[in-house]
């Protein structure tokens, strides 16, 4: 990734994140088809659709062995990344079970891409979505990932209308577990040696948060989360 001053400029016509805070009753279930109004703005970040120009920045993240340690793919080279970027550019909305919505995370000041968010519509019937994310190490430790996943939860419980959001994390992935704990996701299960992962047995922590729990947290003035 290049220096912060050389990135594209932030764009206009943004959706402030406070418009996404859950307020509506979700009795209607998951909204389908759902296409987010992008970009979404947080205090320091912008969430937007992927673009062809994201190739280099995304490669810097996905080729890093440390970043991909606990995600289900090996470090990617240019050839492996290309179809992934195409897929990400196409995953712009949710209609049925298994659909993915993928968002690029950029720093508002610089336009630099720092991370990659994923929302999977896990079950329309059970109004459940699963979240995933990967961020480059260069911008780690400043709360950027937490800030963007908070916006993703606002989106999931707000406009998407999810009742329950889940995440699955390798139990050795302490940074991811810390992030989800910071945002109030509850560990619900610890699956011991449930999968072979990258040549070794791994154990998984399943976490979740309900819409009413998220509303309570957001309504409770948790700006310092």
Ligand X SMILES: CC(C)(COP(=O)(O)OP(=O)(O)OC[C@H]1O[C@@H](n2cnc3c(N)ncnc32)[C@H](O)[C@@H]1OP(=O)(O)O)[C@@H](O)C(=O)NCCC(=O)NCCS
Please choose, from the candidates 78, 113, 120, 58, the residue with its C-alpha nearest in 3D space to the C-alpha of residue 95.
120
Q: Among all residues, whose Cβ is closest to ligand X? A: 143
CA angle 43, 130, 70 (to 5 degrees): 85
Q: How far is the CB of 176 from ligand X (least distance, A)?
A: 4
Nearer residue to ligand X within complex by CB, 63 or 140: 140
Q: How far is the CB of 40 from ligand X (least distance, A)?
A: 17
- Distance CA(114)–CA(128), nearest Å, equals 27
- Distance CA(218)–CA(214), nearest Å, equals 6
Are 126 and 86 in contact, with CB atoms under 8 Å apart?
A: no
Nearer residue to ligand X within complex by CB, 39 or 132: 132
Q: How far is the CB of 121 from ligand X (least distance, A)?
A: 18
Nearer residue to ligand X within complex by CB, 26 or 62: 62
Strand, coil or helix: what is 16? strand
Q: How far is the CB of 182 from ligand X (least distance, A)?
A: 6
Q: How far is the CB of 94 from ligand X (least distance, A)?
A: 20
Q: How far is the CB of 175 from ligand X (least distance, A)?
A: 4
Residues at the interface with ligand X (CB under 6 A): 67, 70-71, 132-135, 140-146, 169, 173, 175-176, 178-179
Show Cβ contacts of residue 13 under 8 Å, excluding neighbours closer than 6 positions: none
Nearer residue to ligand X within complex by CB, 125 or 196: 196
Are 211 and 162 in contact, with CB atoms under 8 Å apart?
A: yes
Where residue 52 falls (left for φ over 0; alpha for ψ -120 to 50; beta otherwise) is: alpha
């Amino acid at each position: 990734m290049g220096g912060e001053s050389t990135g594209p400029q932030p764009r206009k016509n943004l959706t402030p994140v406070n418009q996404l805070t859950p307020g509506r009753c979700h009795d209607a279930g998951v909204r389908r088809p759902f296409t987010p109004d992008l970009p979404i703005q947080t205090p320091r970040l912008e969430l937007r659709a992927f673009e062809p120009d994201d190739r280099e920045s995304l490669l810097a993240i996905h080729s890093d062995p440390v970043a991909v340690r606990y995600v289900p793919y090996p470090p990617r080279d240019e050839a492996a990344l290309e179809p992934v970027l195409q897929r990400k550019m196409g995953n712009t909305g949710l209609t049925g079970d298994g659909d993915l919505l993928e968002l690029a995370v950029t720093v508002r000041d610089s336009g630099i891409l720092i991370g990659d968010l994923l929302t999977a519509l896990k079950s329309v019937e059970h109004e459940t979505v699963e979240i995933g994310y990967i961020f480059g190490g260069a911008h780690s430790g400043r709360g950027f990932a937490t800030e963007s996943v908070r916006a993703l939860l606002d989106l999931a419980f707000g406009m998407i209308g999810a009742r329950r959001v889940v995440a699955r994390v390798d139990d050795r992935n302490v940074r991811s577990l810390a992030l989800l704990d910071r945002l109030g996701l509850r560990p619900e299960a610890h699956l011991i040696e449930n999968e072979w992962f990258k040549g070794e047995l791994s154990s998984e922590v399943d976490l979740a948060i309900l819409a009413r729990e998220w509303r309570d947290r957001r309504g409770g003035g948790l700006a310092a989360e």
